[in-house]
Amino acid sequence: MNPGAAVLFVTAMWLLAPAAAVSAAQVTTNEITRDGDRYDVTFDVRIAAPSERLMHYLTDYANYDRYFQSIRESTVLDGAPDNAQRVRLRLRACVWFFCRTVTFVKDVTEAPNGEIRAQIEPTLSDFQEATEYWRVTSVDGQTQLQYRAALVPDFFVPPLIGPWLLKRQIHASLISGAEKLETLAAN
C-alpha cells in the first residue's frame, strides 16, 4: 500500500519530481484535511514563471511522464465527454517501504480564464471518487496557482499511520511539483 499514491495528481498531479534547481516558489496555503476516507487538499503557490508557460506544462497531459519522475505513464485516451480530454496517469510512489502504483483516469476540461477541472472515472481508477480544480492567474509577472482536490482512495489506508503518511506524501509531492513546474516554465 502506498499512501502517497493518492496525489496525483494530481494530478495532477501530477507534480511529483524534485526540482532541478533552487526555487523561488512561495507556498501561501497548504492544507490537507481528512474526514473518514476523504482527503481534501488546498494548495496555493506563487511561481516565478509566466502563466502561459506554466499552463503549457499543466495541460500537456501526454507528456507528464517526461516532466515528473513519479508518473510512469501519461496517456490521452478516447472516450471523454464533449469539451474534455480523458487522461490516464499511472503513478509509482513509495513512502518508507510502502510502494504502490496507482491509476487515475480523469476527464479534464480547460476554461479560457485559466481554470482546469478534472473528474475521475472511478471504474477505470484506483479511487472511488476524486475531483480536482486548478486556477492559474498572472500576478505581477508571476503565476498564482491554486489547487483544490477531494480524494477518496479505493485502496486500503492503514488506520493509525496511513492517514499521516498520506498527508505527508501529498504535501511533499505538491511542493516538489510546484518547484518542478517553476523550473520547467522559467526556462
Give the pLDDT of residue 78: 94
Identify the domain containing residue 13 by its residue range. 3-186
Grid look-up 503565476 returns: 143
CATH value at residue 133? 3.30.530.20
Q: Return the bridge partners of 71, or none.
A: 91
Task: Give the number of domains in the chain.
Answer: 1
- In a 10 Å sphere around its CB, with 0-12 CB exposed, 13-18 middle and 19+ buried, how is residue 36 labelled? exposed
Sign of CA dihedral 119, 123, 129, 130: negative
Report pTM: 0.78
Q: φ, ψ for residue 119 (rounded to 5)?
A: -125, 125
Q: What share of the chain is helix, strand, coil (3-state, %, to 5)?
A: 25, 45, 30
Give the pLDDT of residue 37: 87
Give the pLDDT of residue 88: 97
104-157 confidence digits (pLDDT tens): 999 999 998 889 999 999 999 999 999 999 999 998 888 999 999 999 988 777
Which residue numbers in the chain have pLDDT < 70?
Answer: 1-24, 93-98, 158-163, 166-167
